[in-house]
Structure 1
Amino acid sequence: MESIQNAVFNAIEYTGWLAPILFILLHLLRPLLFLPVVLVCMAGGYFFGFWAGTVYSIIGLTLMSAVFYWIVNRFPGFQQRVAKMKRKVFQDREMTLVQVMILRMMPFVHFHLLSLYLIEMTQNFRNYMYFSTAGIILPSIMFTGFGHILMELSWGYALIIIALLGLLFVYIGRREKEEGTPLEKQA
């Protein structure tokens, strides 16, 4: 394992300025390779350090969000397939913006299903990108900086953290239904 680690570090050192670009491209190719967001962000923190890994992950995920928006609007069949998957997973549950942001922090919730929610909530590309990027920052920081800690925790502690995020998700959903969502207040 240590020889693989050294080989990767040597490759990153050898490629120099190209390594961050390749890492950002990995974020764009991640859905095709069936890699979870958390895994790629953790790799960024491990190989590039906390700050650089976080910045590269934010850039990569933001570009991925823009590409997803373009694909969904360009290919209606793809949008229908993602919407069908969204109905299966979330059973036509209405969510607020803050709930989508919380779900983005959960390690294995499908990134593009949440992006589809954001597309449906926003009026245009600019609005979508604003909320999408805002929703990427905290998970990028969390997964890059603390992802390895979460992976080393026992299942009990990891389940407690996920349960607390779930409770926060439900609480905010109820509160925002009573008070109105940030998008409704903005309109």
Structure 2
Amino acid sequence: MEQFDDSVKVLIENAGWMAPLFFLLLHLLRPFFFLPVIAVCVLGGVAFGFVQGAALSYTGLLLMSAITYFMLKRLPKSHKKMTLLKERIFTDKTLSVGQVMLLRIMPFVHFQLLCFYLMDMTKNFREYMYYSALGLTVPAIVYTAFGQSITEFPWYMTIAFLFFLIAIFFAIDRYHKTHTAHQ
């Protein structure tokens, strides 16, 4: 692992001022390489340190959210595929904004599907980007700062963390259902 860290640092040093641009480009190309968000954010922490890595990951995720919004609005075939995926994964399920934000923290949850879900919940691009900005803050920070240690947890700690996040998800679901039923 130390060799990987050293290799990344040498690559960043050689790229100079272009390194942050390459990293943002990696965020935009990530879906085409089937790279999970957590892997790219962890790389940002290794390559740029916590503060700059988190800022670059946050920026890259926001850019990816904006591009996803416009691609799904302009490409009916992609929109239809996302609709089918949404129906298959979240059958007869209405999520709250809080649940979508929590799902963003969970590793390996389909990023574009969550963007699509958020699109359906918001009225326009401005509201969509507002909730995207809020929902991407925690993953960018957590994955950049703690992503390395989360991936190095023993398997039982990783499973416990996942169950903790699932429990919070269902608690938000129950809260959302009781408050919408009373309105």
- TM-score, length-scaled by structure 1: 0.92
SS class of match (1:94)? coil
Unaligned stretches of 5+ residues in structure 2 = none
Deviations along 1:7-66, one digit per CA (max 9) or x if unpaired, are 332221121111011001100000001000000000000111011100000000000000
Residue of structure 1 equivalent to 2:141: 141
Report the Cα offset of residue 2 of structure 1: 5.0
Report the Cα offset of residue 152 of structure 1: 1.1
CA distance in 2, matches of 1:22, 1:92: 40
Deviations along 1:160-183, one digit per CA (max 9) or x if unpaired, are 1110110110011111222249xx
CA distance in 2, matches of 1:141, 1:5: 19
Is 1:129 the equivalent of 2:129?
A: yes
CA distance in 2, matches of 1:163, 1:7: 35
* 1:5-154 paired onto structure 2 within 5 Å: 5-154=5-154
Change (3 A) 1:171 1:4: closer
4+ runs of 1 displaced by more than 6 Å?
none
Residue of structure 1 equivalent to 2:163: 163
Residue of structure 2 equivalent to 1:174: 174
CA distance in 1, matches of 2:67, 2:55: 18
Deviations along 1:97-118, one digit per CA (max 9) or x if unpaired, are 1000111000011111111110
Letter in 2 for 1:58: Y
CA distance in 1, matches of 2:46, 2:8: 11
CA distance in 2, matches of 1:97, 1:77: 25
SS class of match (1:93)? coil
Letter in 2 for 1:161: F
Change (3 A) 1:175 1:2: closer
Report the Cα offset of residue 85 of structure 1: 1.3
> In 1, are the aligned partners of 2:5 and 2:46 still within 8 Å (CA)?
no
SS class of match (1:108)? coil
> In 1, are the aligned partners of 2:50 and 2:144 still within 8 Å (CA)?
yes
Identity among equivalent positions (%) equals 43
Q: CA RMSD in A?
A: 1.6
SS class of match (1:17)? helix
Q: Say which is worse superposed, 124-133 or 11-20, in terms of deviation.
A: 11-20
SS class of match (1:115)? helix
Unaligned stretches of 5+ residues in structure 1 = none
CA distance in 2, matches of 1:176, 1:156: 30
> In 2, are the aligned partners of 1:27 and 1:60 still within 8 Å (CA)?
yes
> In 2, are the aligned partners of 1:45 and 1:54 still within 8 Å (CA)?
yes
